[in-house]
Amino acid sequence: MHFLKRFNKHLCLVILGLTLFSSHASALQEVKLQLKWTHAFQFAGYYAAVHQGYYQDVGLDVQIIEGNPAISVIDEVRSGRANFGVSTSSLLLTQPIEDVVLLANIFQHSPLVFVTLDKGPFHTIHDFDESTIMLEDGSDELIAYLVKEGLSLENITLVPHSFSIDDLIQGEVDAMSSYLTFEIYKFNQADVDIKIFTPRSVGIDFYGDNLFTTRNMIESNPVVVEAFLEASLKGWTYALNNLDETIELILANYATSIDPDFLKYEAESMLQLIRPEFVEIGYVNPGRWKHIAEIYQELGFLNAPPNWNKFFFAPPQDNYTKWITLIMLVSVVTFLIAGIATYIFTVNKQLRKLLIQKQKDHSLKEKHNRILAMIANDQPLQSILTEINFSIEAYRPGCLCSIMLKPDNENFLTPIASPSLNAEYIEIIKQVPIVVGAGSCGTAAATRQRVVIADIQSHPYWRSFKEALVKADLKSCWSQPVMDHSGQVLATFAIYTREISEPTSADIRVIEEVAHLAAIAIDRSRMIELLKNSEQHHRYLAHHDPLTGLANRSLFSDRVVQAIRLAKREENHLAIILIDLNDFKLINDQHGHIVGDKLLSAIAKRLKTSVRISDTLSRYGGDEFVILLQGLMDTNEASIVEKKIFSLMSKPFNIDGLEIMSGCSIGIAYYPEDGPDETSLTHAADLRMYTNKRQLK
């Protein structure tokens, strides 16, 4: 009955337009939309809906009202000065919450981030402690970001936003809230290097621009609300598919003084936040809103979540019975007049079949939209692929679906999601080689072509799997390669059946659609994994010497501070051993820096054998190493390590066939005898090391 619902809804909109037109040729119903900021591409969909005539088509005359920092969008709409508004996720904090109703989410991800200059002490979000931050209204998700990372708001000074990047550049503030679609462009134009901190990195993923109205508007003008929503989303679809044309529209009618390059930047940045290729424009995920409410409750901003049935807009239920009755009466009269009673049965049978198919197609589309939302929300890859299989098994009862993944740099396939295949069969196909003749999937991956085998129990490609196929009662297999945009095989998607059969054209269409969906999920999962590995690598480099892999000076200093605290508490000693290589410059000059670097790495490996796991070995400078010995009961323990180091360094090093000797000088300082902190201890060790070096001469 889905097509009847759509017919009735569109009929209501047409009736609204005709009713308004009949009263007066130009008497369109006036409604007002309050924006949350000044005119920009951020509101492109509404401009497009006006100038493409989408609002006029449904009988509406929409006035778009520009916003500014002094205007509260929610107050404007609740007071009746505007009928609709665009707000942040702070919409949930409206009191009473029953006054407002969410219509659509335009930005699937909020553009709000923290920005600092790419210099000074701000390396991680934890460095925001005791800083001054310029924050704009409605930035609750950024507050949540700070709290979730364990920062105390009492130690942070929050000041009102001036909306000028100069305050950050000139050092008036340490950080500022910014829009990825706005201020970042200004920093780029000013050629200022910045660091960006996003709440999404800790799982705080709020919605961006949210279209809403009031409960009173819905109760008094439900058809107008639905008409406005449909026309607005249609405008957004047009704007995102026609960026250049929409930019010219904005420059000509709304923001004549704005830099066109900025609008282009804003448009391209917005696509990464709206994600129209993954999520339907305006899509609302109730689960994410409930998560946002939980975050607000944790912050103490919200006492209790709203009545979700009232917060989310639900189009009024239409009475379809009269339309069905009318269609049936017209059909009966037509058939009686025509005198072809047998045709009634045939038509009804075909109609029922068509309706069932439409319902199945609609259900499959909804499931795939939910899967796209899972992809956009970075759900685990195996969960996404399993949901893909379940969607096809529900769409085509009797089939069993399987997705096999190609691991990076490997030439075989391995099952990742095969929820309906038995465990014994999955074990047999756990490593299928990518070659022609290795079943349907191995052949599909090797040829990059769909492989359809109607009778796998007798086909030569499946000869080695025949016994397992009989046990699993599998008769046919159709396999589709899953490839990325460059044509590289990522996986295969296969449909098994328990009867000898070949796919229909409808089956082929669904298989190709699923392969594309799986490719999006796998490609995005791999990109996220690469990003995580890159972040971990950068964190490692921040605390380790890139040549030797030892702790660098920053990490060593941190370890010393912790060791001194522990020594105070447990009333024991620690020692710092400073090691300076003798004649390392001569080695570099004689054999070159490449040999010198290899020698340093070899020395680092040898020194590691002289310390315990609880101790810290660091490369302190060019040819200097330093060791932190913890938990010493007396100073003799450090002397033992010193002797071991001299013994190790007395043996030659073999570097690329060269036998190189490298002696060293050592200075040792003890806590608490030689000082209370790292500075005094390293100074004492340094003096003793140079004294020992002079004695050698």
> Which of 271, 229, 295, 259 is CA-nearest to residue 31?
229
What is the tens place of the pLDDT at every residue in 455-502? 999 999 999 888 888 898 999 999 999 998 888 999 999 999 999 999
Task: State residue 330's pLDDT score.
Answer: 55
**Residue 536: pLDDT above 60?**
yes
Which DSSP letter does residue 474 get? -
- d(CA 475, CA 632) in angstroms, rounded, equals 72
Residue 120, both tokens: 């000074």
Which DSSP letter does residue 83 get? S
For residues 360-378, one letter each, b for 16 or more C-beta atoms within 10 angstroms of the residue's C-beta and e for the rest, the string is eeeebeebbeebbbbbbbe
- d(CA 109, CA 50) in angstroms, rounded, equals 25
Adjacency order of strands within the sheet including 624-632? 616-619, 624-632, 573-581, 664-671
> Which of 161, 170, 168 is CA-nearest to residue 196?
168
Per-residue pLDDT band at 342 (split at 50, 70, 90)? low
Question: DSSP letters of 485-528?
Answer: TTS-EEEEEEEEESS-----HHHHHHHHHHHHHHHHHHHHHHHH
Which DSSP helix (H) or strand (E) runs through 231? helix 222-241
What is the tens place of the pLDDT at every residue in 2-49? 444 444 444 444 444 444 444 434 478 999 999 988 899 999 999 999
Task: State residue 63's pLDDT score.
Answer: 95
Cα–Cα separations (whole angstroms), residue 343 to 197, 300, 339, 349, 376? 67, 67, 9, 10, 49
Per-residue pLDDT band at 339 (split at 50, 70, 90)? low
Task: State residue 19's pLDDT score.
Answer: 45
> Which of 53, 78, 41, 81 is CA-nearest to residue 65?
81
Number of neighbours of residue 271 by Cβ within 10 angstroms:
12
Which DSSP letter does residue 211 get? E
**Residue 97: pLDDT above 70?**
yes
Residue 330, both tokens: 């017209």
- List the single range of 320-324, 507-511, 561-565 with lowest mean pLDDT: 320-324
Number of neighbours of residue 338 by Cβ within 10 angstroms:
10
What is the separation, in whole angstroms, between the first and last Cα of the chain? Answer: 98
The fold of the 2-108+208-311 domain, in CATH, is D-Maltodextrin-Binding Protein; domain 2 (3.40.190)
Helix (H, G, I), strand (E, B) or coil at 326: helix
Task: State residue 361's pLDDT score.
Answer: 74
Question: DSSP letters of 99-142?
Answer: GEEEEEES-SS--EEEEEESSTT-SSGGGGTT-EEEE-TT-HHH
Please give the CATH superfamily to which domain 379-531 belongs. GAF domain (3.30.450.40)
Q: What average pLDDT does the segment 144-170 reach?
A: 90
The residues of the chain that CATH labels 3.30.450.40 are 379-531
Question: DSSP letters of 604-640?
Answer: HHHHHTTS-TTSEEEE-SSSEEEEEEEEESSTHHHHH
Contact 73, 86 (CB under 8 A): yes
The radius of gyration computed from the CA coordinates of the chain, to the nearest angstrom, equals: 34
Q: Which residue has the higher pLDDT, 322 or 237?
A: 237
Q: What average pLDDT does the segment 215-244 reach?
A: 94
- d(CA 103, CA 99) in angstroms, rounded, equals 13
Contact 656, 595 (CB under 8 A): yes
- d(CA 492, CA 463) in angstroms, rounded, equals 20
Instruction: Determine how β-strand 132-135 pairs with β-strand 157-160.
Output: parallel
Cα–Cα separations (whole angstroms), residue 285 to 106, 273, 282, 661, 674? 12, 15, 10, 68, 63
**Helix spans in 339-415 (H):** 341-376, 381-395
Cis peptide bond upstream of 672, omega within 30: yes
The residues of the chain that CATH labels 3.40.190.10 are 2-108+208-311, 112-202
**Helix spans in 24-98 (H):** 44-51, 54-57, 73-78
> Which of 182, 160, 183 is CA-nearest to residue 173?
160
- d(CA 498, CA 475) in angstroms, rounded, equals 5
* Residue 294 main-chain phi, psi, to 5 deg: -60, -40
Which DSSP letter does residue 421 get? S
- Under the phi-then-psi rule, with left for phi > 0, alpha for psi from -120 to 50, and beta for the rest, what region is 586? alpha
Task: State residue 331's pLDDT score.
Answer: 59
Instruction: Determine how β-strand 132-135 pairs with β-strand 175-179.
Output: parallel
Residue 474, both tokens: 């599998």
**Identity (one letter) of the amino acid at 276?**
P
Q: Which residues contact 317 (CB under 8 A, 6 or more apart)?
A: none
**Residue 542: pLDDT above 80?**
no
Please give the share of the chain, as a percent, with pLDDT higher than 70. Answer: 89
- d(CA 321, CA 381) in angstroms, rounded, equals 44
**Residue 436: pLDDT above 70?**
yes
- d(CA 294, CA 457) in angstroms, rounded, equals 54
Instruction: Determine how β-strand 624-632 pairs with β-strand 616-619.
Output: antiparallel
**Residue 415: pLDDT above 90?**
yes
Task: State residue 2's pLDDT score.
Answer: 45
Cα–Cα separations (whole angstroms), residue 97 to 46, 76, 93, 286, 314? 25, 15, 7, 16, 16
- List the single range of 131-140, 538-547, 644-653 with lowest mean pLDDT: 538-547
Per-residue pLDDT band at 127 (split at 50, 70, 90)? confident
- d(CA 228, CA 82) in angstroms, rounded, equals 13
* Residue 628 main-chain phi, psi, to 5 deg: -105, 115
- d(CA 115, CA 197) in angstroms, rounded, equals 6
In the block, which residue shows the tokens 């960006």?
Answer: 196
Task: State residue 454's pLDDT score.
Answer: 92
- d(CA 98, CA 139) in angstroms, rounded, equals 22
Residue 433, both tokens: 């080689």
The residues of the chain that CATH labels 3.30.70.270 are 553-696
Q: In the predicted model, what is the mean pLDDT of the chain?
A: 86
Please give the share of the chain, as a percent, with pLDDT higher than 90. Answer: 43
**Residue 1: pLDDT above 60?**
no
> Which of 158, 122, 118 is CA-nearest to residue 142?
158
**Domain at 112-202: CATH code:** 3.40.190.10
Please give the CATH superfamily to which domain 553-696 belongs. Reverse transcriptase/Diguanylate cyclase domain (3.30.70.270)
- pTM, rounded to two decimals: 0.46
Task: State residue 621's pLDDT score.
Answer: 81
Task: State residue 344's pLDDT score.
Answer: 59
Contact 290, 307 (CB under 8 A): no
**Residue 696: pLDDT above 80?**
no
Q: If you average pLDDT over each of 48-62, 322-336, 525-539, 626-640, which comes out highest?
A: 48-62
- List the single range of 176-180, 300-304, 337-341, 421-425 with lowest mean pLDDT: 337-341
